[in-house]
Structure 1
Amino acid sequence: MTKFIGIVLFLFCQNVLCQEYHFDRLIQYKETSVAFTGNRLVTVLFNSNNTSYYFVNRNWNDELDAYLVDNNLNVTHVYTIDDIKKSKDYEYLYSKRFNPDNCSIDCSCISIEESKNAGQFSKILMIKHINKKKKKKEYEIEVISKPYEFAVLKPLIEILQHHFLFCEEIKVDGYSIPTWIKLNKGGQIKSEQSLVLDNAIDVNFSVKKKDLVFRE
């Protein structure tokens, strides 16, 4: 009877009080950008069996911000750590809902060129043009990638470049991992990201539903 009650309470936490997430892969990039000085580390946690959700850490100096995206629930949970030298605990800030059908990019102004060499690496050049005539570039993103065991290309491009590979109109092979990304605009390199870590992990993360505060 006691065992049965324990199981019921566990399921109650799972289904009512808590939302549980499991991660088994850590992927990390070093980032440089004209928007900030020095380097920033962007760390992404995935579940290789369920890429509908992921957890992102972005840190520079002693500051860190983080967010968890759940594409099944269409919600993002936002966290922070003010000083990572003093604390390793995430402070929950707020949550926000999103509409997965909202794509702010006009895909008719986009062209994608993909080339593969004799080795394992491939190159994707994503060009955003000024208009549908596609005669003048607004900016371009160059991605060097290699094959990967599960589909991480689209979410990683969205995380690292906040960009249009999440649009349904764009069709590329998602089973690859970026090893290097460069954003060019106006003949200048605006940002670069390079892969520095790809490790197996075993991490569980809980979101307490009763503590959630939603913002617009």
Structure 2
Amino acid sequence: MKKFALFILFFFCKSLFCQEYHFDGFLEYKNSISGNNSLYFYNSNNKVYYLNVYKKFETIYGGIRDTENKILHEYGVTNKVNSIKFNYLFSRKLKLKKNSRKYFYDITEKKIDSSKTEVIILVYNDKKKKKSSSKIELIIDNSELIANENILFSFTDGIVNDVNSKITPGIPISIKVDFPTGLKCYYTLIKKEKTNTILTVDNVKIKNF
């Protein structure tokens, strides 16, 4: 999944018994270490859900994380020349952050210019903060003031999960992550566009997860 084609998708309910997700913007990031690209779809007026498209073991997947309904919808994704096709796989209960591991943070911000802010997040496993376990470095574009908590949660594998009120709003254009395992990831924003994308899930399928 070296490159995604530009696309607009419309999936409509065949009946009234379905859950509908609308996305009006998407971001495409490139991981300079693996060479893979990832997509992040969002609704600028509703931050309770978002859609990730990513590659894992040569297969492309999509996942809608819905915190309001506490559910995660998984899709198989086919990347074609001018479009991407989503094939529903299954749904499962979502483990919210209150049930996840608790982290503690030291956050510093520095203005680069009128539209960009540099943010450094040191992550600790305990509140004594003796030794950081992870480090996240961000450059945030403040020209579009969207909440970025879900973006950071997604690209740090849940390490950054409770800092939205402490970080300046905006779109991360650079995300560097040093994980506790020693793994390093460096994501760069390569595309930001408006879209009108709708995905739906049949409620019958949701009840069977």
TM-score, structure 2 length as denominator? 0.79
1:76 corresponds in structure 2 to 72
Pick one of 133, 143, 146 that aligns with 2:141.
146
Give secondary structure in 1 for the equivalent of 2:79: coil
Q: Kindly, what percent of the aligned residue pairs are identical?
A: 22
Which sits farther off after the overlay, 55-64 or 19-28? Answer: 55-64
| Alpha-carbon distance in structure 2 between the residues aligned to 1:72 and 1:133 | 32
| Alpha-carbon distance in structure 2 between the residues aligned to 1:68 and 1:132 | 32
Decide whether the 8 Å contact of 1:62 with 1:85 is kept in 2: no
| Alpha-carbon distance in structure 2 between the residues aligned to 1:203 and 1:133 | 45
Decide whether the 8 Å contact of 1:28 with 1:197 is kept in 2: yes
Pick one of 26, 39, 46 that aligns with 2:42.
46
| Alpha-carbon distance in structure 2 between the residues aligned to 1:98 and 1:60 | 20
| Alpha-carbon distance in structure 2 between the residues aligned to 1:32 and 1:11 | 38
Decide whether the 8 Å contact of 1:63 with 1:84 is kept in 2: no
Which has a greater percent of helix? 1
2:158 corresponds in structure 1 to 163
1:120 paired with 2:115, answer yes
After superposition, the C-alpha distances for 1:65-123 in whole angstroms (9 at most, x for unaligned) are 11011121111101113x6359943222211112435253433x421112223332111
Residue-pair matches, total = 196
The verdict on how the C-alpha distance between 1:11 and 1:26 changes in structure 2, with shifts beyond 3 A counting, is closer
Bigger radius of gyration among the two? 1
2:172 corresponds in structure 1 to 178
Report the alpha carbon displacement of residue 189 of structure 1 after superposing the two structures with TM: 6.8
Decide whether the 8 Å contact of 2:144 with 2:171 is kept in 1: no
After superposition, the C-alpha distances for 1:35-77 in whole angstroms (9 at most, x for unaligned) are xxx3111101111122221111113796311101112111110
Give secondary structure in 2 for the equivalent of 1:52: strand
1:91 paired with 2:93, answer no
Decide whether the 8 Å contact of 1:148 with 1:175 is kept in 2: no
The verdict on how the C-alpha distance between 1:79 and 1:12 changes in structure 2, with shifts beyond 3 A counting, is closer
1:6 corresponds in structure 2 to none
Matched AA of 1:203: T
Decide whether the 8 Å contact of 1:182 with 1:189 is kept in 2: no
| Alpha-carbon distance in structure 1 between the residues aligned to 2:175 and 2:93 | 28
2:8 corresponds in structure 1 to none
After superposition, the C-alpha distances for 1:144-167 in whole angstroms (9 at most, x for unaligned) are 111143433111001111234432
2:192 corresponds in structure 1 to 198
Report the alpha carbon displacement of residue 170 of structure 1 after superposing the two structures with TM: 6.1
Matched AA of 1:210: V
1:4 corresponds in structure 2 to none
**Structure 2: which 5+ runs fail to align?**
1-11
The verdict on how the C-alpha distance between 1:206 and 1:148 changes in structure 2, with shifts beyond 3 A counting, is farther
TM-score, structure 1 length as denominator? 0.77
Q: Which runs of 4+ in 1 moved over 4 A?
A: 85-88
**Structure 1: which 5+ runs fail to align?**
1-9
What root-mean-square deviation, in Å, do the aligned CA atoms of Structure 1 and Structure 2 show?
3.0
Matched AA of 2:36: R
2:202 corresponds in structure 1 to 208
Report the alpha carbon displacement of residue 173 of structure 1 after superposing the two structures with TM: 3.7
The verdict on how the C-alpha distance between 1:73 and 1:142 changes in structure 2, with shifts beyond 3 A counting, is same
Instruction: Indicate the structure whose relative CO is greater, using CA pairs within 8 Å and at least 6 residues apart.
Output: 2
1:31 paired with 2:31, answer yes
1:106 corresponds in structure 2 to 102
| Alpha-carbon distance in structure 2 between the residues aligned to 1:162 and 1:77 | 17
